[in-house]
Amino acid sequence: MRPMKNGKTGPALVLCQKTSGDEMEVVVKCSIGCEQKEASLAAEVIGACLAADLGLPIPEPFLVELDPNFIGSIPDVEHRDRMAMSNFVAFGSKHVTGQYSAWTNGNLISEGMLPNAAAVFAFDAIIQNPDRRDGNPNCLVRGDEIRIIDHELAFAHGLILFWKAPWVLGGLQNLETPGLHIFRAGLMGRAIDYTPIRKAWIDLSDARISEYGNAVPTEWGVATKSVASALQLIKDARDNIDACITEIQRVLQ
């Protein structure tokens, strides 16, 4: 339908047909535009599955098959070439409509928004997502409602030298830097109830977490190692969620 205005990965708005035959507008992200190619798309899938189970507000995720005939019909040369060079399975999110706007520094965390904002901050901290920051919020807002998007940079802890886990003292030190997370300033000094956050993480079973990996298509086979690393991080964080929350509290004090 058109290129999206924002997004360094070069996403496009595509009218897709579901297996049921229904049509839906989907924001499609192709492997060629991502830093880690298929591994980045795998991070999107795992992040979406985890966020849904944690009750976080994300757009409905999809795997999108890029048919060669469709690719050949795209009039925009840049996007036609981008899709042609990509894995034929892409990642997509249902297009968010209805007067949502991008989060800005002027937005405040209301009392109604507080539980979701705190849960999202914990989610990003644990999955090592560096990409919800001032200037690139990856968060849409409408009143007290938010929608979080774009998690392709998460679970990259295996690429970080001297990485510290989020349940270790100092493991979230980077989040102490002003502007590195859009919600930190608004959460500092607030009375946050961590009980729902803790329960949501503890309720994740090994079998359920394994299903996240099964949701990653076999066509992204080169991402196998990063998928295993992501699933292990989730399991370890669940098993150490109290220590994770202690570290989160420390950076929000």
The model's pTM: 0.95
Whether residues 105 and 193 fall in one domain: yes
Whether residues 152 and 132 fall in one domain: yes
- Does pLDDT of 8 surpass 80? no
- Across the chain, where does the E strand assignment appear? 2-3, 12-17, 23-29, 61-65, 89-94, 101-102, 139-142, 145-148
Whether residues 143 and 65 fall in one domain: no
Write down which residue in 94, 111, 138 finishes a domain.
94
Whether residues 29 and 114 fall in one domain: no
Write down which residue in 73, 94, 115 finishes a domain.
94
Calculate mean pLDDT across residues 8-18.
91
- Does pLDDT of 223 surpass 90? no
pLDDT digits (tens, 9 = 90+) for 123-174: 999 999 999 999 999 999 999 999 999 999 999 998 888 999 999 999 999 9
Please report, for the domain that includes residue 208, its CATH number: 1.10.1070
Whether residues 151 and 210 fall in one domain: yes
Give the model's pLDDT for residue 10. 87
Whether residues 67 and 163 fall in one domain: no
Give the model's pLDDT for residue 79. 87
Domain range for residue 129? 101-251
Write down which residue in 72, 94, 116 finishes a domain.
94
Calculate mean pLDDT across residues 53-78.
95
Whether residues 82 and 145 fall in one domain: no
Whether residues 25 and 136 fall in one domain: no
If one counts the domains in the chain, the total is 2
Whether residues 140 and 246 fall in one domain: yes
Q: Is residue 50 part of a domain?
A: no
Mean pLDDT across the chain: 95
Whether residues 141 and 199 fall in one domain: yes
Whether residues 110 and 196 fall in one domain: yes
- Does pLDDT of 7 surpass 80? no
- Does pLDDT of 6 surpass 80? no
- Across 95-158, where does the E strand assignment appear? 101-102, 139-142, 145-148
Q: Is residue 208 part of a domain?
A: yes
Whether residues 64 and 150 fall in one domain: no
